């Protein structure tokens, strides 16, 4: 029996993870579930899976959660400290599926307590890649990528010599605005950006897919997870979202990972790693699909992607600032306070205010320093948004 914690259980990745657990009940036991504001979902999952600890990120709903779970024997905790305590319960495997930088600390705590960490929360690697890697090394636990592209790279690299890798190609669907003009994109609303042609995901990552902030975070995540150089990582628009990533080797060979657009593949792979197990995902009929299309991303339409390469060049804490400024800009876009393309402008200005090229090679990656830079990025982004309203 494998003991699991699920951080961000009420979200899209969390629910997909619980779906796999539900289908394999004898194999797994859930020890910790965390959520945010979606109390109904958290309570219903808690009653079904009977974890030891149930946590919500928000202190103001602690009492209500406690009442709804009274008499069940489950421990109920809340807030950042409650989440950190819940994440410190020793388990075999933890799913990091909180959205945003809030996912960093629970993931670190779980690794420190000895859990292999299944990493959907790409923001952790972007903001604190060196700290994540060090924590995994020091505690002898695995960092298992769950982003479909990174799971694909991980799978393509099994048994391969890392030094023989020439390049890595991450595919991108192009998001909601793939076929829109620059002028149309500039006027796009949050509602229009919140639908994805191929994947069903949380609202924030769906909008990040339309702006390619999501792909930008993934490029940085790939560098941090696999120790590639920035110039080894390419992005290719592939509207079908069936080839998730391609690894190119020095003999010219390309290893592509092909699968349906269903996150349960990557989650299931991480759950049964190092083995493979049956997964209830669609089997692709390639003859029916008929073709795969590819094109290069247009960096004018997707400035977030260009900025990701600047961040990798800058190094240090620029990833933490990039992500923090992006989260604030995304909040402002969702609230109709800034336009779609303003999100990248805000992030670019914040990066320029804080970093001068090649001067940020700071390497003291403790949690406190990362959170401090995250906070500075948020403050500056808010200032820029206020200034330009």
Residues that bind ligand NDP (CB under 6 A): 8-14, 35-38, 57, 97-99, 102, 120-123, 147, 199, 201-202, 204-205, 263
- Nearest to residue 117, comparing CAs of 320, 280, 277, 267? 267
Closest to ligand NDP by CB, 31 vs 123, is 123
**In angstroms, rounded to a whole number, what is the distance separating the alpha carbons of residues 67 and 77?**
12
Q: How far is the CB of 127 from ligand NDP (least distance, A)?
A: 11
Distance CA(198)–CA(268), nearest Å, equals 19
Q: Residue 32 Cβ, how far from ligand NDP at the closest point, in Å?
A: 13
Q: How far is the CB of 97 from ligand NDP (least distance, A)?
A: 5
Helix 318-334 to helix 203-211 angle (10° resolution) is: 110
The smaller minimum CB distance to ligand NDP, of residues 13 and 354, is found at 13
User: Among all chains, which residue has been given the structure tokens 């819940």?
Assistant: 86
Nearer to ligand NDP, 14 or 259 (CB): 14
Q: Closest distance between ligand NDP and the C-beta of residue 15, in Å?
A: 8
| CB-nearer residue toward ligand NDP: 204 or 215 | 204
Q: List the one residue out of 126, 113, 103 whose CA is nearest residue 6.
A: 103
- Give the span between the Cα atoms of 255 and 152, in whole angstroms: 10
Task: Compare residues 12 and 135 and give the one whose CB is closer to ligand NDP.
Answer: 12
As measured in angstroms, the least distance from the Cβ of 83 to ligand NDP is 6
Least Å from the CB of residue 116 to ligand NDP: 17
Sheet-wide strand order for 93-96: 75-78, 53-56, 28-35, 2-7, 93-96, 116-119, 143-145
Cβ proximity to ligand NDP, 178 vs 353, nearer residue? 178
Residue in 372, 360, 374, 329 with CA at minimum distance from that of residue 347 = 329
Q: Which residues pair with 75 in a beta bridge?
A: 53
Residues 175, 179, 184, 185: what is their CA dihedral angle, to the nearest 10 degrees? Answer: 30
Residue nearest to ligand NDP (CB): 11
- What Å distances lie between residue 235 and 212, 250, 303, CA to CA? 10, 19, 13
Cβ proximity to ligand NDP, 170 vs 354, nearer residue: 170
CB of 202 to ligand NDP, least distance (A): 2
- The residue among 139 and 203 lying less far from ligand NDP, judged by its C-beta, is 203
Alpha carbon distance 337, 188 (integer Å):
13
Q: How far is the CB of 190 from ligand NDP (least distance, A)?
A: 14
CA distance linking residue 47 with residue 325, whole number of Å: 37
Q: Choose between 198 and 379: whose C-beta lies nearer to ligand NDP.
A: 198
For the bound state, the minimum distance from the C-beta of residue 368 to ligand NDP, rounded and expressed in Å, comes to 18
């Amino acid at each position: 029996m494998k003991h699991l914690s699920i951080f961000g259980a009420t979200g899209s990745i969390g629910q997909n993870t619980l779906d796999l657990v539900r289908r394999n009940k004898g194999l797994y036991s859930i020890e910790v579930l965390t959520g945010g504001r979606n109390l109904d979902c958290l309570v219903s999952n808690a009653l079904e899976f009977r974890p030891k600890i149930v946590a919500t990120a928000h202190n103001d709903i602690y009492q209500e959660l406690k009442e709804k779970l009274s008499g069940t024997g489950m421990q109920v905790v809340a807030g950042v400290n409650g989440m950190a305590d819940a994440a410190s319960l020793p388990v075999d495997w933890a799913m990091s599926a909180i959205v945003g930088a809030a996912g960093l600390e629970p993931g670190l705590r779980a690794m420190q307590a000895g859990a292999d960490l299944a990493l959907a929360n790409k923001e952790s690697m972007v903001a604190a890649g060196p700290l994540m890697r060090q924590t995994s090394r020091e505690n002898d636990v695995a960092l298992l990528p769950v982003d479909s592209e990174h799971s694909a790279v991980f799978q393509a690299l099994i048994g391969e010599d890392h030094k023989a890798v020439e390049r890595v190609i991450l595919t991108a669907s192009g998001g909601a605005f793939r076929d829109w003009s620059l002028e149309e994109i500039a006027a796009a609303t949050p509602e229009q950006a919140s639908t994805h042609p191929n994947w069903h995901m949380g609202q924030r990552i769906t909008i990040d897919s339309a702006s390619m902030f999501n792909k930008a975070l993934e490029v940085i995540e790939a560098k941090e997870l696999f120790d590639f150089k920035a110039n080894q990582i390419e992005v290719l628009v592939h509207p079908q979202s069936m080839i998730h990533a391609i690894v190119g080797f020095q003999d010219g060979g390309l290893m592509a990972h092909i699968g349906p657009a269903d996150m349960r593949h990557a989650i299931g792979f991480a759950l049964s790693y190092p083995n493979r197990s049956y997964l209830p995902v669609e089997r692709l009929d390639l003859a029916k699909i008929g073709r795969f299309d590819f094109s290069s991303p247009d960096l004018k339409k997707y400035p977030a992607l260009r900025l990701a390469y600047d961040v990798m060049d800058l190094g240090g804490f620029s990833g933490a600032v990039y992500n923090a400024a992006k989260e604030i800009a995304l909040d402002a876009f969702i609230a109709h306070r800034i336009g779609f393309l303003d999100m990248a402008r805000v992030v670019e200005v914040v990066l320029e205010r804080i970093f001068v090229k090649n001067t940020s090679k700071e390497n003291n990656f403790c949690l406190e320093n990362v959170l401090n830079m995250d906070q500075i990025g948020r403050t500056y982004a808010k200032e820029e948004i206020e200034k330009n309203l």
